[in-house]
């Protein structure tokens, strides 16, 4: 793995640095990562090495620095939101790592209230692309900020759960927690 794991002082970091840390949550391991702008990734999985590899694949050319002390608060906020979605997730997000269309999809996703769902087709229509359900699904799959950009709230036209980058069982768990609000 080509991840640089160091304890580089904050002053020595530059705009090409992303700090990250891995913690635990009710739905598995979570990796939180920050750029100088805000949280640029929240990845969910079962294996820390796979999460680190995913982060490296999503941010090629960036210096990735493991920094649990700096991200401790973010990890706690993410785990708290997963367990109790009604608390909200108030973290600054860095949404620059997507195409303009992906960013539009992600912006609309952030307006879907906790406990609500939307279909891929309805989301495409909301974006003025009535035949764009597949493009919306692709944008959801490209989302690196799980729960911060709530792509888990998008469901199939018939209301069933489908396609979630971090697994349908995790999607179901997130939606079930939100449904109890």
**Would you name the residues annotated as active-site residues?**
151
Q: Would you state the structure tokens that stand for residue 2, as one six-digit string?
A: 């080509």
CA angle 175/101/172 to nearest 5° reads 10
Burial class (CB in 10 A: 0-12, 13-18, 19+), 11: exposed
Report the run of H or E that residue 18 belongs to, with start and end: strand 17-25
Distances (CA, A) of 152 to 5, 63, 64, 170: 30, 29, 27, 9
């Amino acid at each position: 793995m080509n991840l640089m794991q160091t304890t580089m002082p904050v002053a020595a970091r530059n705009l090409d640095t992303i700090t990250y840390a891995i913690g635990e949550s009710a739905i598995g391991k979570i990796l939180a990562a920050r750029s100088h702008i805000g949280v640029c990734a929240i990845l969910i999985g079962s294996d820390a090495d796979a999460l680190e590899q995913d982060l490296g694949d999503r941010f090629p050319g960036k210096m990735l620095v493991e920094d649990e002390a700096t991200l401790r608060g973010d990890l706690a906020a993410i785990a708290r939101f997963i367990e109790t979605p009604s608390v909200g997730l108030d973290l600054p997000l860095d949404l620059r790592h997507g195409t303009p269309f992906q960013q539009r999809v992600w912006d609309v996703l952030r307006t879907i209230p906790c406990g609500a769902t939307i279909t891929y087709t309805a989301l495409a229509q909301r974006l003025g692309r009535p035949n764009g359900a597949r493009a919306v699904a692709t944008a959801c799959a490209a989302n690196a900020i799980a729960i911060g950009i709530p792509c888990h709230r998008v469901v199939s036209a018939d209301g069933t759960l489908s396609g979630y980058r971090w697994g349908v069982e995790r999607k179901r768990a997130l939606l079930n927690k939100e449904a109890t609000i």
